[in-house]
Amino acid sequence: MSELEQKHLLIVYHSQSGRNERLAYAAYSAAIAAEPNVDVRLRRAAETGTRDVVWSDGLLLFFPENFGAIAGGMKDFLDRTFYPVLERNLIRPYAVFICAGNDGGNALSQFNRIAKGYLWRSVSEPIVVTGRPDEVVFQQARDLSTAFSTGLEMGVF
C-alpha cells in the first residue's frame, strides 16, 4: 500500500498524572495491532501541531478534566492549531476520551463547541470516566482505537 493510500490516525493526549498517557498508549498499541495498514502517530498535546493534524485522516483525543474544564495542555493544542487548520478546511473525524475527577460534563461541553468550530465530526459517543482507570476503562480505550482505526481502513469515515 502506498503512502498516499494509507490512512493516518493521530492520537493526541495530555496528562499530568499519567492516567491519560497510559490510556493513550493502550489505545495506540491496540490501533497498531488491529490495522497494520493504518499509520498511527501518538503525540503529547504540547508537541503536536498543525502538521500533525494535516497528516491525519482522523483524531483520537485523550485528556483530563481540570477544575471542571478542558485541561490546559489540550486546550493549548487546540488553540495553537485552530486557525491554521480552519484555513485549510480540514474536516476530520474524531473521538474523545476524558478521564475526569468530576463528572467531565463541562470539559466535554467545551470540547464539543471547539470541535464544531474546527468543523470536525464525531464518529463515536464520547467516553468520560471518573476516578482512577481500571482494566474496564483501559479496554474501552483499546476498543475505541480499534474501532476507529478499522473505520479509517474501511473508509467508513
- Calculate the alpha carbon distances from 149 to 46, 75, 94 in Å: 23, 24, 11
Tell me: the pLDDT tens digits for 13-26? Answer: 999 999 999 999 99
> What domains does the chain contain, in order, with CATH numbers?
7-154 (3.40.50.360)
* Distance of alpha carbon 126 from alpha carbon 123, whole angstroms: 9
Mind listing the pLDDT tens digit of every residue in the chain (157 residues)? 565 689 999 999 999 999 999 999 999 999 999 999 999 999 999 999 999 999 999 999 999 999 999 999 999 999 999 999 999 999 999 999 999 988 999 999 999 999 999 999 999 999 999 989 999 999 999 999 999 999 999 999 8
Looking at residue 101, its pLDDT comes to 82
